[in-house]
Amino acid sequence: MCLGIPGRIVAVADEEAMLCVVDVSGVRRTVDVVCVATPDAPLDTLVGRWVLVHVGFAMSVIDEDEAAATLKVLTEIGEAAAEMEALASGSLDPLATPAA
């Protein structure tokens, strides 16, 4: 099962393509932020914000307490490890080249 996992936006990767770098428990990946970006605002306003990441997209902005609680629940139900493995392998990276 692929669930959303909290991560903190740490950098803008490509403003024009709406991509930012998200840190999820030490694993960094480029994600699409089109769903959470404010129209006409620079993407760097998102740096430092927590987001819920699902299949390479930041789906919603969440606060730090919600991020911690969600990571705790995912760990307790055993889903955090699978999500972290998917992030580490790059399978959730929208810039990753599909395997042949």
What pLDDT is stored for residue 70 in this prediction? 86
Gap between the Cα atoms of 100 and 94, Å rounded: 16
pLDDT, tens digit (0-9, with 9 covering 90-100), for 62-95: 999 999 998 888 888 876 666 666 666 665 444 5
The single-letter DSSP state of residue 98 is P
pLDDT, tens digit (0-9, with 9 covering 90-100), for 26-65: 999 999 999 999 999 999 999 999 999 998 999 999 999 9
What pLDDT is stored for residue 72 in this prediction? 87
> In the structure encoding, which two tokens stand for residue 83, read together?
């999500």
For the chain, the maximum distance between any two Cα atoms, rounded to a whole number of angstroms, is 40
Taking residues 9-19, report their average pLDDT: 97
Looking at domain 5-89, its CATH class is: mainly beta
Strand partners, 23: 8, 28
Q: pTM of this prediction? A: 0.75
